Structure 1
Amino acid sequence: MAATGDVRWWGINDWTDLDLVRAELSAGTDPNSGVPVFEKPLHAAADRGSPEVVTELAMRVDDVDAENQGRTALWMAVFENRADNARALVSAGADPWRPMMAGWSPGRLSLAGPSPDLFPLPSPDAGLSEAEAAAVAEARRLIPALGDLHHDGLSLACVADVSATEATARLEAAPADDVDVEALYEAWWNNPDADLIIGITDVPGGCVITQPWGNTASTPGVVKRVSPGTVCYDMYANPKGGSGGCVAREGAVITSWEPHSAYTIPPDALAEKILAAYLYRGHPVAFCCAGAGLRLAHAGPIIGSSATWLRLPRRDWWT
């Protein structure tokens, strides 16, 4: 039997292993706490475990609706689209309509996902607003329209309500007609000016600036220059560290963002930010397009197949 206060959940990397979880519990491990850093055991299982493990832990915890960082285990299961785990939690007594996360109870959040009939509505007015329903519909259109992008090494800036011509002027860029873009795709490292070559395309709602082989399109110098009077969402898909970016407004970088999971959303996040994080988890390019209100019909502007290619002036684009 483990001594009181011992932390034993460190060894659980597979929350689908019911025998291992039961062995930990039998050894005296606390079912309510002890997972490294920021999780509760039931939250971890709801996020990435099996319904059998969720059911086992739900029987052992003091409160199946205990919150961690403003959300219950059921909320975690819904956000990660684990309908099987969500059903197990409800069977154990979890409340789908418990208020949390700026009005996004697990039940309301499920209405925006792939299983909108997961829980019975408690009342007709518990559904999505017109604006929320429109955001859901756009996500369901935009993500398939962009397709399965391979975007390692890509940077882009999605600029609202600014034309490609205006953005080009703001960047003081010139046409790059002398550049062999296909050669850059194949071996950009052979061109000393590769970091200065960007593509730009007019799209419904604004324009897209892209660099398929490097991070220049997402640098502060680019997004600050194109965002006065509007908003710009940028991202860089770092092959060594995943995707992330910033939101620039009125010429200043004001907010960074990272790939969305149920853990990266602050408990005090605005309702529309929570919805966007849920709709576009795993789709960072679509997240940037949607954030800037760009209504792309295909991925051409992102990968540069429909772009006008420009050469930026040589300066420090990181300031």
Structure 2
Amino acid sequence: MSLSEFERVAAQEAHRLTTALGEFYYYDGTGLACVAGIEAAEAVRRLQATPAHGDLIDELLEDPYAYDMDESLHIGGVTSVPGGCVVTQPWGYAPQMPGVLVRLSAGTLCYGLYANPKSGNQGSIARDGTIEGSDLHPGGGPDEGDTSAEVLASYLYQHNAVAYACAFAGLRPTDRRAVAGPPDVWVELPHRDYWSH
């Protein structure tokens, strides 16, 4: 049985994407939001974020857990990639908070990922300002009720949650910089309740 054109293209892109991103041996505690169809500047505008101070970033990167979580959670990086952009936080789950995903996904699609050190990878889907799925397991096996395309993606990106999140949103990064850094821009989010959206 041969692959359909869709399956063949999906498999080729999966190989290209996983090769471009490489292995993430240690990314526990990292949060991502993969946003389709908008560039970094538009993501920053939607989040009403402001540029973060360089000295603070240097100190945070040196020891992010020395900072109060309430403060460090408001700092993140944003990077444009082919197909959209990635919002990243090497030390926290902020990019995957509902209030962030809802703002980013207006008129488009977002896949949020948090590499939870305690319970493994957690995923969320937001489409056009609405959370469509949460407590998902990107890079895990397919779920009951998945479409054939979702089953194929689960197979192609098994054990690779970062690539799965990028692929779900149609992002085509050519290297790992959007995830591993440094981002195009470091920003500070306004202080607000991001858990209710």
TM-score of Structure 1 vs Structure 2, range by shorter chain: over 0.9
Query: 1:30-109, aligned counterparts within 5 Å?
Result: none
Deviation at 1:164, TM superposition (A): 0.9
1: CA distance between counterparts of 2:166 and 2:74?
23
Q: Quote the residue 1:56 is aligned against.
A: none
Say yes or no: does 1:226 pair with 2:101: no
Structure 2: unaligned runs, 5 residues or longer: none
Structure number having the greater strand percentage:
2
The TM-score normalised by the length of structure 1 is 0.58
Deviations 1:232-272 (A, max 9, x none): 0010001111001111101111013214444x521x32110
Q: Quote the residue 1:269 is aligned against.
A: 146
Deviations 1:183-217 (A, max 9, x none): 21232233342110010001100000000001101
Q: Radius of gyration: which is bigger?
A: 1
In the alignment of these two chains, the number of paired residues is: 192
**Preserved contact between residue 109 and residue 125 of structure 2 (Cα < 8 Å):** yes
Question: Aligned partner of 1:171: which letter?
Answer: L
Q: Quote the residue 1:148 is aligned against.
A: 23
Q: Quote the residue 1:158 is aligned against.
A: 34
1:291 to 143, 168, 183: 168
Question: Aligned partner of 1:224: which letter?
Answer: V
Deviation at 1:303, TM superposition (A): 1.7
Deviation at 1:290, TM superposition (A): 0.5
Partner SS state of residue 7, structure 2: helix
Deviation at 1:179, TM superposition (A): 4.1
Deviation at 1:165, TM superposition (A): 1.0
Deviations 1:74-117 (A, max 9, x none): xxxxxxxxxxxxxxxxxxxxxxxxxxxxxxxxxxxxxxxxxxxx
The TM-score normalised by the length of structure 2 is 0.92
Say yes or no: does 1:258 pair with 2:137: yes
2: CA distance between counterparts of 1:143 and 1:189?
29
Identity %: 44
2: CA distance between counterparts of 1:223 and 1:275?
25
2: CA distance between counterparts of 1:174 and 1:259?
30
Partner SS state of residue 32, structure 2: strand
Partner SS state of residue 180, structure 1: helix
Q: Quote the residue 1:241 is aligned against.
A: 119
Q: Quote the residue 2:9 is aligned against.
A: 134
Label 1:295 to 1:265 Cα distance change in 2 as closer, same or farther (>3 A).
same
**Preserved contact between residue 139 and residue 164 of structure 2 (Cα < 8 Å):** no
Q: Quote the residue 2:155 is aligned against.
A: 278
Structure 1: unaligned runs, 5 residues or longer: 1-125
Structure possessing the higher relative contact order (Cα contacts under 8 Å, 6 or more residues apart): 2
Say yes or no: does 1:305 pair with 2:162: no
